[in-house]
Amino acid sequence: MALTPTAKKNAITGKKTLVAYRLADQTPEADFVTIPGVQIFTGIGGSVEDIDQSCIAEDSKRYLAGAWDGNEITITIHHYTGDSTQQALIAAANDGSVVDIQIEYQDGTTGDIEVALKSASPQDPSLSDTLKWDIVGKINGKPSWTFA
Protein backbone atom coordinates (compact mmCIF):
# COMPACT_ATOMS: atom_id res chain seq x y z
CA MET A 1 0.00 0.00 0.00
CA ALA A 2 1.50 3.34 -1.00
CA LEU A 3 1.57 5.96 1.72
CA THR A 4 -0.10 9.27 1.06
CA PRO A 5 1.64 12.46 2.23
CA THR A 6 -0.32 14.92 4.36
CA ALA A 7 -0.16 18.71 4.16
CA LYS A 8 2.61 18.89 6.77
CA LYS A 9 6.18 17.85 6.18
CA ASN A 10 6.25 14.12 6.77
CA ALA A 11 9.33 12.92 4.97
CA ILE A 12 12.63 12.20 6.63
CA THR A 13 14.61 15.41 6.30
CA GLY A 14 15.76 15.98 2.73
CA LYS A 15 14.40 12.64 1.49
CA LYS A 16 11.12 11.32 0.19
CA THR A 17 10.92 8.50 2.72
CA LEU A 18 7.56 8.22 4.51
CA VAL A 19 6.86 6.56 7.86
CA ALA A 20 3.36 5.56 9.02
CA TYR A 21 1.87 3.55 11.88
CA ARG A 22 -1.29 1.91 13.22
CA LEU A 23 -1.99 0.16 16.50
CA ALA A 24 -1.18 -3.54 16.12
CA ASP A 25 -4.49 -4.64 17.63
CA GLN A 26 -6.43 -3.02 14.77
CA THR A 27 -7.69 -5.08 11.87
CA PRO A 28 -5.29 -5.62 8.96
CA GLU A 29 -7.59 -3.43 6.85
CA ALA A 30 -7.05 -0.42 9.15
CA ASP A 31 -5.27 2.44 7.42
CA PHE A 32 -1.75 3.42 8.30
CA VAL A 33 -1.45 7.05 9.43
CA THR A 34 1.55 8.97 8.12
CA ILE A 35 3.66 10.37 10.95
CA PRO A 36 4.40 14.04 10.27
CA GLY A 37 7.80 15.50 11.08
CA VAL A 38 9.88 12.31 11.05
CA GLN A 39 13.52 13.40 10.92
CA ILE A 40 15.44 10.27 11.89
CA PHE A 41 14.51 6.56 12.05
CA THR A 42 17.35 4.42 13.39
CA GLY A 43 17.76 0.79 14.36
CA ILE A 44 15.70 -0.95 11.68
CA GLY A 45 16.82 -4.58 11.60
CA GLY A 46 18.21 -7.08 14.04
CA SER A 47 20.32 -10.21 14.17
CA VAL A 48 20.28 -13.80 15.34
CA GLU A 49 21.79 -14.67 18.68
CA ASP A 50 24.91 -16.83 18.92
CA ILE A 51 24.56 -20.25 20.54
CA ASP A 52 27.93 -21.57 21.64
CA GLN A 53 28.35 -25.21 20.55
CA SER A 54 32.03 -25.49 21.45
CA CYS A 55 33.44 -28.64 22.88
CA ILE A 56 36.23 -28.47 25.43
CA ALA A 57 38.30 -30.84 23.25
CA GLU A 58 38.24 -28.46 20.27
CA ASP A 59 40.80 -25.71 19.82
CA SER A 60 38.31 -23.20 18.40
CA LYS A 61 34.76 -22.14 19.15
CA ARG A 62 31.73 -23.24 17.11
CA TYR A 63 28.36 -21.51 16.98
CA LEU A 64 24.82 -22.07 15.77
CA ALA A 65 22.45 -19.29 14.87
CA GLY A 66 19.77 -18.81 17.51
CA ALA A 67 16.55 -16.84 17.57
CA TRP A 68 16.11 -13.54 15.73
CA ASP A 69 16.40 -10.52 18.03
CA GLY A 70 15.03 -7.25 16.67
CA ASN A 71 16.90 -4.02 17.35
CA GLU A 72 15.77 -1.14 19.49
CA ILE A 73 14.51 1.63 17.20
CA THR A 74 14.32 5.37 17.67
CA ILE A 75 12.09 7.66 15.63
CA THR A 76 12.88 11.35 16.06
CA ILE A 77 10.05 13.68 15.13
CA HIS A 78 9.93 17.45 14.81
CA HIS A 79 7.06 18.61 17.05
CA TYR A 80 4.05 20.18 15.33
CA THR A 81 1.87 22.00 17.87
CA GLY A 82 -1.61 20.50 18.03
CA ASP A 83 -0.92 17.64 15.61
CA SER A 84 -3.27 14.82 16.62
CA THR A 85 -1.23 12.09 14.87
CA GLN A 86 1.92 12.98 16.79
CA GLN A 87 -0.02 13.28 20.04
CA ALA A 88 -1.59 9.83 19.52
CA LEU A 89 1.84 8.28 18.75
CA ILE A 90 3.39 9.87 21.85
CA ALA A 91 0.48 8.60 23.98
CA ALA A 92 0.82 5.11 22.45
CA ALA A 93 4.54 5.09 23.27
CA ASN A 94 3.96 6.20 26.85
CA ASP A 95 1.28 3.48 27.21
CA GLY A 96 3.66 0.76 25.94
CA SER A 97 1.47 -0.03 22.93
CA VAL A 98 2.45 -2.39 20.12
CA VAL A 99 2.24 -0.76 16.68
CA ASP A 100 2.72 -1.76 13.08
CA ILE A 101 5.10 0.63 11.32
CA GLN A 102 5.38 0.94 7.58
CA ILE A 103 8.27 2.76 5.95
CA GLU A 104 8.33 3.62 2.25
CA TYR A 105 11.59 4.65 0.64
CA GLN A 106 11.74 6.97 -2.36
CA ASP A 107 12.52 4.05 -4.72
CA GLY A 108 9.25 2.33 -3.72
CA THR A 109 10.77 -0.26 -1.36
CA THR A 110 8.58 -0.75 1.72
CA GLY A 111 9.17 -2.32 5.11
CA ASP A 112 6.55 -3.52 7.58
CA ILE A 113 7.73 -3.69 11.17
CA GLU A 114 5.92 -4.58 14.40
CA VAL A 115 7.29 -2.53 17.30
CA ALA A 116 6.64 -2.64 21.05
CA LEU A 117 6.86 1.04 21.96
CA LYS A 118 8.75 1.80 25.16
CA SER A 119 8.88 5.56 25.60
CA ALA A 120 8.40 9.02 24.19
CA SER A 121 10.73 11.73 25.45
CA PRO A 122 11.36 15.31 24.43
CA GLN A 123 14.96 15.92 23.43
CA ASP A 124 17.27 18.03 25.52
CA PRO A 125 16.38 21.67 24.68
CA SER A 126 20.08 22.55 24.49
CA LEU A 127 20.37 20.33 21.37
CA SER A 128 17.98 22.34 19.21
CA ASP A 129 15.92 25.51 19.06
CA THR A 130 12.84 23.44 18.19
CA LEU A 131 11.04 20.76 20.17
CA LYS A 132 11.78 17.22 18.99
CA TRP A 133 10.56 13.92 20.39
CA ASP A 134 12.36 10.58 20.51
CA ILE A 135 9.98 7.63 20.21
CA VAL A 136 11.75 4.42 21.33
CA GLY A 137 10.64 0.83 20.83
CA LYS A 138 11.80 -2.75 20.30
CA ILE A 139 11.19 -4.65 17.06
CA ASN A 140 9.02 -7.76 17.43
CA GLY A 141 9.75 -10.54 14.96
CA LYS A 142 11.46 -9.88 11.64
CA PRO A 143 10.76 -6.86 9.44
CA SER A 144 9.02 -7.76 6.18
CA TRP A 145 10.42 -6.10 3.04
CA THR A 146 8.86 -5.54 -0.40
CA PHE A 147 11.51 -4.41 -2.86
CA ALA A 148 10.79 -2.02 -5.71
Could you report the per-residue pLDDT of 17-74, keeping only the tens digit for each?
889 999 998 877 888 999 999 999 999 999 999 999 999 888 999 999 999 999 999 9
At 97-147, the pLDDT tens digits run 999 999 999 888 999 999 999 999 999 988 778 899 999 999 999 999 999
pTM of the model: 0.85
Residue 27 has a pLDDT of 77
- Please check the confidence at residue 16 and state whether its pLDDT lies above 80: no
DSSP string for residues in 14-83: TS--EEEEEETTS-TTSPPEE-TTEEEEE---EEEEEEE---TTSSS--EEEEEEEEPEEEEEEE--TT-
Average pLDDT, the chain: 88
In this prediction, residue 12 has a pLDDT band, given cuts at 50, 70 and 90, of low
